[in-house]
Chain A
Amino acid sequence: MPLCLSVDLALQHPDYVPDYREDAAPERGEGAVSTISGTVDWLNISWEPEEQAANKPVEKYVGLENFSYVLGDPKFHKALKNTSLYVLVTIGIALPLAFFLAHFLRQVPGLIRPVLSFLLLLPGLCLSGVLATLFQLFFHGREGALNQWLVTPMGLDPINWLLDPSFVLPALVLQAVWRWTGFIVLFFLCGMEAIPNAYYEAAKVEGANTWRVMRSITFPAVRHVAVFAAVFLIIDGFASFSGAYNLLGGSGGILDSGLLLVTYLYQVAFPGGSGQFDFPAAAAMSLLVVPLTALVLFLVLFGRNRLFKA
């Protein structure tokens, strides 16, 4: 249902305002618009034909104009590129990391295993605003943990994570990995614990090495968990807003290097960000995102079916 509404909205003229919205949201930048048209009305009292023109309601539908506007918008391209990169890199890091962590956790004695997996889960439980705050105060900065413990020991100059355009996106990815790895570890762990012990004993009898066991027994058993986690990360990645909003204050970061789709959506639809008030363009934008996400997910699920057949 919201999808149909979105289609309707995306075809509308940017200046068209439905009557229910006029009184509902008068303060959202529309005050300025109505004062301008008010002055026009006042000026045009003696100019009958012009007044009619001024009062003529804006044509409601403009066809596909909004779509072509969005498609030609360089900022939209930037946001799309950033988001895709963000999603891909997050999956590329979080999934293998979670798999190996779960593999190690499974060998941990049963008593402290739940405690450790719970510790890994902590970042996933808290608000992403908290993660962003911690990132700013704890990890970020010349004196921050990342620079002091990771970058400087490697003999590199301290990185300004939030002001260097090439490091804003990695900062967001880092935050996402930190946040979701624990949950994926939990899923992997539950999948691994369900593998019958006999499989491993058989492998031992056959003389398979660790790598071979992992590839032939552990990985196939958790493959559908991996697919589920990937789907979840893709959806969350395309929808992620809060982390970037808190870290960058609703802007796209320096040179828009951390501009994500939903952040841009928010900027276009609700002023304060960039001052535009453009619902239809925003709706067109979200409509363009929908088939894109669906396509990516379809590819993932389709790939999964082929994997199962093979």
Chain B
Amino acid sequence: MRTTSTKYFSPAVLVSLLAGLVFSYPFLWMFLSAFKTNKEIYQPLLLFPDDYEWDAFASLFSGKYLDFIRFFLNSVFISCAQALFATVVTASAGFAFAKLDFPLKGALFLLAVLVILVPKQALAIPLFEWLTWLELNGSRWAVILPGIASGLGIVFFTQIFSRIPNELIDLARVEGASLPRTFLAILPLVAPALVTYGLIHFILAWQEHLFPLILLSDANQTLPLGLAKLRDSSHRIPEAVAMAAATFTLVPVVALFAVFYGKMRTALAELTLH
């Protein structure tokens, strides 16, 4: 790592500080706006509210406008399930592509790359048809299942596993370990990559809007839909409630990221070394 300039006051530090401020200031404003009245919110340059009222949070969690806790739990369930299954599936696929020989390997890998090139959203219509045919329309699994297949994950894990020395696999074979056993024994070696991919997939699932919008029934809706409902055009609901809800959609993700940030940077630095 470079240690040429560790001055605390240099143009570079100033520029970085300014950028950090510009990028995150709106979120501070958002959090403080949860305490404001509508009149105060419509003055964007005002940062601090006159007095701190917790009404917005109270009405959010008492379900006065919509059952926020249910939206929240749906989102948590869908995102966790998607991240978990996607990591398991793509990690094992990546292991197979990197370390095993099987017929049509090249063609199948090409197919995985092709899946990256086609955004999932562009296939919304046929997926909708397919899921309707499977009679999953409206259930939470309708959103989880299409999210599991990820070409990006397969390519990512193939890269990761190809860096594991072949000798390890051979050693396991000599010791008489079965293939699944070998795979499980290798997994701790790629833990940062597993965490990184799981996190990124979690974020993408957490932010997904189109699929929940067209697929989920009223009881299973997720946070992006709830947020849109809180901000409907009638302006019946105080803006502060939407601001409080927005804060609570951000908090879990930020907490997760803050915890795993170091691990994630390790994995990314390893990847870019190639």
A contacts, CB < 8 Å to B: 1-3, 5-6, 9, 18, 20-21, 24-25, 101, 104-110, 114-116, 118-130, 133-134, 137-139, 141, 143-145, 148, 178, 181-182, 186-187, 190-191, 193-195, 197, 200, 222, 224-225, 231, 235-236, 238-239, 241-242, 245-246, 249, 261-262, 265-266, 269-270, 279, 282-283, 286, 289-290, 293-294, 297
Interchain CA distance A238-B210 in the complex, whole Å: 13
Tell me whether B104 is interfacial, beta carbon within 8 Å.
no
- Do the beta carbons of B249 and A130 come within 8 Å of each other? yes
Closest B residue to A249 by CB, please name it: B233
- Do the beta carbons of A125 and B257 come within 8 Å of each other? yes
Closest A residue to B227 by CB, please name it: A129
Interchain CA distance A246-B118 in the complex, whole Å: 23
Interchain CA distance A119-B261 in the complex, whole Å: 12
Partner of B249 from the list A24, A105, A126, A224 (CB cut-off 8 Å) is A126
- Do the beta carbons of B45 and A265 come within 8 Å of each other? no
- Do the beta carbons of A101 and B16 come within 8 Å of each other? yes
Known: A20-B132, A101-B19. A297 touches B224 (CB 8 A): no
Known: A286-B124, A286-B125. A193 touches B224 (CB 8 A): no
Known: A2-B127, A108-B13, A194-B273. A290 touches B122 (CB 8 A): yes
- Do the beta carbons of B129 and A123 come within 8 Å of each other? no
- Do the beta carbons of A125 and B203 come within 8 Å of each other? yes
- Do the beta carbons of B258 and A118 come within 8 Å of each other? yes
- B124: chain A residues at CB < 8 Å are 262, 265-266, 269, 286
Known: A2-B130, A293-B117. A119 touches B1 (CB 8 A): no
Give 10 A-B pairs besides A129-B209, A224-B274, A242-B208 with Cβ atoms closer than 8 angstroms: A9-B129, A114-B265, A120-B24, A125-B254, A127-B223, A129-B231, A134-B29, A138-B29, A242-B207, A269-B128
Tell me whether B178 is interfacial, beta carbon within 8 Å.
no
- Do the beta carbons of A116 and B249 come within 8 Å of each other? no
| Closest CB in chain B relative to A47 CB, distance in Å | 35
Tell me whether B253 is interfacial, beta carbon within 8 Å.
yes
- Do the beta carbons of A126 and B122 come within 8 Å of each other? no
Tell me whether B180 is interfacial, beta carbon within 8 Å.
no
Known: A128-B207, A297-B117. A122 touches B127 (CB 8 A): no
- Do the beta carbons of A5 and B126 come within 8 Å of each other? yes
| 6 residue pairs, one from A and one from B, having the closest CB atoms | A239-B119, A242-B209, A119-B20, A107-B12, A5-B126, A239-B121
Quick one: which of B1, B19, B254, B273 has the most chain A CB within 10 A? Answer: B19
